[in-house]
Amino acid sequence: MSDGAHVQPRQGRSAFFISHFAFFPFGVTRIMVRLLPRRAAGPIGVDISPRSVKLIQLDDRRSTVIDAVRWDVPSPADKAFVAKTESSLSGHSAKEREASDRTSKPPRPEKGPAGGETAESAEDRQIVAALTQALEGRRFCGRDAVLCLDAHDLLLANVRLAKQVGADMDRLVQQEAAARIPYAIHEAEIRYLDGADVRQGDAVLREITLLSCHRPAIYRKIRLAEAAGLRPVAIDVAPTAILRSYVSQYRREEDCRRRAMFVHIGMSNTFVVIAQGADVLFARLLDIGGKHFDESVAQHLDMSLADAISLRRYNGERRADQRDPEVSESIDEAARPVVERFLGELGKCVRYHSVTFRGQPLSGIVLGGGEAHESLAETITARLDVRCEVGDPLRTLQTSLPLVHRSQWDVAAGLALRSMN
């Protein structure tokens, strides 16, 4: 296959592929792929969030972790960190700086209305600094990386369309997207995940998950990665990455036929994915995340947001038998309003599945992301009457690294598992 060859993706898969030569032309399901040479390691899965970056790389068999690192993203006010990072970047020789000019320098600061740095530009510089520090002195092989779109850059919607195939379905998806996106259609990258047939009245329609992203958001993500010395080879979306991290553990044919719900609780949002085996049936983005738990704790315990974040992190990182029962109880009580809202939203997803995709109940719920913990899983099980467990996306991978709170690695692991062929 020559560079830039067009291929048709398999149904039920979606990714935003990129090439160093050009972006793929607009289309609903057609993508541009560069054929990569076979190497002893897969790409680095790079999961970027406002509070941390997580990088993980697997060997070419996708069975062993080569290296993995989580690095906190400092706030723009953390000038000491910025100074240290910029010093380390400027410490290279002039020849090295010239050779790495395109990939090692942080993005040029953009000016705000008053001549100062914009909030987005400041955030970008902190992310580049965190990525640079995370890569320093590690054992990663090469710099090929698979990135993930931020939740706030992704339009995600479940829609029902008349059953069509090929170009006819592409046109229907494009028309549906044009009515929903807040930017021009020629500035959009549009994909969809093929779901299943659903009955609506006397008609049988096809339910799909529509995905759309504004192209400038893709360009920004690539600039950040390249500024840290990475070489982006693909951009994926969280729902498919999350599912991939767990589907890779399936060993029995029975597992591939079961339906399960995967819940990833991030800092700002929660992704809910209902799938049968490796096929997505339903995906939804909830406006509930770790920051809402932090805000609720700060309000109910009458403390600053920074103190609430520290309290929840300190308590969550300790082993269950080492936690202060009174502190844990106070945190749980303070977060209860958000937990109740969260349970209500999950209940809606379970009911939607039972009404829309009949024939088979959910076999269980897998809880992932940085906010996943056993007590929440137990609460979900009791409230929804569906078995819920905290996920371990690294369960079948060999590693000697002391990776704690493994549920937070679901997106990064799914990105690292992505096949580039």
Alpha-carbon distance of 373 to 391, in angstroms, equals 9
Name, in order, each residue with C-beta under 8 angstroms of 2's C-beta and a sequence gap of 6 or more: 35
Our CA angle for 399, 279, 276, nearest 5°, is 90
**Per-residue confidence (pLDDT) for residue 218, from 0 to 100:** 96
- Is the residue at 315 inside a domain? yes
Domain match, 232 and 292 both? no
What is the domain extent for residue 297?
253-394
Q: Give the distance, in angstroms, between the CA of residue 165 and the centroid of all CA atoms in the same chain.
A: 29
| Residue 299 and residue 230 share a domain | no
**Which of the two residues, 317 and 165, has the higher pLDDT score?**
165
Question: What is the layout of strands, in order, in the sheet containing 259-265?
Answer: 279-286, 270-276, 259-265, 365-368, 388-390
Do 231 and 293 belong together in one domain?
no
What pLDDT shows up at residue 3? 36
Sheet of 231-236: strand order equals 16-17, 231-236, 144-148, 41-48, 52-59, 65-72
pLDDT tier at 324, thresholds 50, 70, 90: confident
Give, for 56, the enclosing helix (H) or strand (E).
Answer: strand 52-59
Give the start-end residues of each E strand in 73-178: 144-148, 154-162
22 & 96 share domain: yes
CA dihedral sign of residues 218, 220, 221, 226? positive
* CATH, residue 350: 3.30.420.40
On whether residue 143 sits in a domain, the answer given is: yes
For residue range 213-254, what is the model confidence (pLDDT) as tens digits?
A: 999 999 999 999 999 999 999 999 999 999 999 999 987 888
| CB-based contact 310:382 (threshold 8 Å) | no
- Residue 372 counted as domain residue: yes
Same domain, yes or no: 347 and 224: no
Domain presence at residue 421: no
pLDDT of residue 273 exceeding 80, the answer is yes
Within a domain: residue 161? no
Task: Check whether residue 264 and residue 334 sit in a common domain.
Answer: yes
Q: Are residues 13 and 82 in the same domain?
A: yes
Q: Give the pLDDT mean for 287-304.
A: 94
Q: How many domains does the chain have?
A: 2
Claim to verify: residue 297 and residue 224 sit in the same structural domain: no
CA 247 to chain centre: 16
Which CA distances in Å does 328 have to 317, 339, 372, 388, 403?
Answer: 12, 15, 15, 21, 23
What angle do the packed helices 119-135 and 79-90 form, to 10 degrees? 60
* Domain match, 46 and 82 both: yes
331-385 tens-digit pLDDT: 999 999 999 999 999 999 999 999 999 889 999 999 999 999 999 999 999 999 9
Tell me, yes or no, whether 284 and 371 share the same domain. Answer: yes
Q: Which residues contact 242 (CB under 8 A, 6 or more apart)?
A: 262, 264, 271, 273, 368, 410, 411, 414
Both structure tokens of 31: 């993508």
Domain contains 119? yes
- What is the average pLDDT value for the chain, to the nearest integer? 83
* Percent of the chain clearing pLDDT 70 (strictly above): 78
Of the listed ranges 92-96, 156-160, 211-215, 411-415, the one predicted with least confidence: 92-96
Cα 163 to the chain's mean position, in Å? 30
Range 32-60 average pLDDT = 81
pLDDT at 253: 81
One-letter amino acid of 121: S
Find out whether 158 and 282 touch, Cβ atoms under 8 Å.
yes
